[in-house]
Structure 1
Amino acid sequence: MPLPALLLIDMQRGMQMPSLPPRNNPQAEHVIAQLLQVWRARGAPVVHMRHLSRTVGSVFWPGQVGAEFQPELAPFAHEHVVDKHVPDAFVHSNLERWLHVRGISELVLVGVSTNNSVEATARSAGNLGFATYVVADATFTFAKSDFNGVPRSAEEVHAMALANLQDEYAHVLNSAAALQLLAEAAI
């Protein structure tokens, strides 16, 4: 049985811009790097999502520095890269087919932002029948006002996005539990 795939979502330089609102989970990149190292050491599948904007002037416009992967989380040549133009990595991409061809049924999601691309991708993964796991300490987001104009901290936005996913579309866990999931799958 294939090992769970680690999906790194939008870990690009544009997510490190100082002009972005305050974020939560400042150690997320470190945790993601640790997970990535273990996944690679076990020979488990790794997939990198890259957001490429269709808006001219966006930091995620192809060819801009912001669209580049963060160097410490950049894909190896043999790792699959999915370019996407919307938050959901399954929309207008080959991701679902790529996973099915390899018999991969379990997905572990990490990256940014919890309430946008991570949540959108996790919802589709769950709806498509994948066993989906979102790693809370390996995801992060930014402060944002709610629909009523009430400012919400990044931690509040993060917690609500995870609550939206928990037990409906995905299982939310921490990085230690994600490593245990990989270890058990390798038995």
Structure 2
Amino acid sequence: MENSETGHSRVLDVTAALIVVDVQKGFGDAEFWGVRNNPAAEANVASLLAAWQDSGRPVVFVRHDSAQPDSPLWPGQPGNDFQEFVAERRGKGSGPELLVTKSVNSAFYGEPDLDAWLRGTGSRQIVVAGIQTNMCAETTARMGGNLGYEVLFALDATYTFGLGGPYGWRLSADELARATAVSLHGGGFAEVVATEELVRAARPTRGGGAPPAGGERRG
């Protein structure tokens, strides 16, 4: 895969793990969350999942179990469930897979221990995708960088919602996504990359082997 900025081919490890963050039905509640951006996000997440599972690379499915009873992501209601295209992919890969549940922003503070599992599979490179760009996806990427992983942030496989802040400030979903991209990439936490580049790199090559099996699998 050629990096468009440098002209060099990027190396994607056979143990590079895809972390799919909080792609849950509850984020479809526009009345609760507001206006989202990037309508192509789901299709890009689906492309990444297919490429990772076809090549036998590790996949982590992350689910947010909200601690707020009024949240669409509250456990025990339909909004807590994964979106169908994600749910039907679980257990379909030839590589190791893991389900992580959490109630905070970072997938590294969920159950079971994501860092321990990644180290057990030999993963030093992770790809982060999912919802929301500037919340759980960004926090997971930042912490991954702090823990020493090479983090690739698939910005076009994420989306978010407009948000109000102090002093009457408000940023649109697109503005927040750009701020996340600049903070992660410019701050050295992660490299922001396009789904298409990652999919091309992840596709198995002729004669190439799949990564070693291992880790927890959940159907």
Give the TM-score normalised by structure 2: 0.80
Moved over 3 A (4+): 183-187
Corresponding residue number in structure 2 for 1:134: 153
After superposition, residues 115-126 of structure 1 pair within 5 angstroms as 115-126=134-145
CA distance in 2, matches of 1:51, 1:7: 13
**Structure ID, larger Rg:** 2
After superposition, residues 82-93 of structure 1 pair within 5 angstroms as 82-93=100-111
Flag structure 2 segments of 5+ consecutive residues without an equivalent. Answer: 1-12, 210-219
- Structure 1 residues 2 and 34, CA gap change in structure 2 (3 angstroms): closer
> Is residue 21 of structure 2 the alignment partner of residue 9 of structure 1?
yes
- Cα pair 1:3 1:182 within 8 Å, conserved: no
Partner of 1:22, secondary structure, is coil
Shift of 1:159: 0.4
> Is residue 83 of structure 2 the alignment partner of residue 70 of structure 1?
yes
CA RMSD of aligned residues (A): 1.9
> Percent of aligned pairs with the same residue?
35
- Cα pair 1:2 1:102 within 8 Å, conserved: no
Cα deviations across residues 134-165 of structure 1 (Å, max 9, x unaligned)?
01110111011243322211100110011111
Partner of 1:148, secondary structure, is helix
- Structure 1 residues 184 and 162, CA gap change in structure 2 (3 angstroms): farther
Give the TM-score normalised by structure 1: 0.92
After superposition, residues 34-183 of structure 1 pair within 5 angstroms as 34-74=47-87, 75-77=89-91, 79-93=97-111, 94-167=113-186, 168-183=188-203
Flag structure 1 segments of 5+ consecutive residues without an equivalent. Answer: none
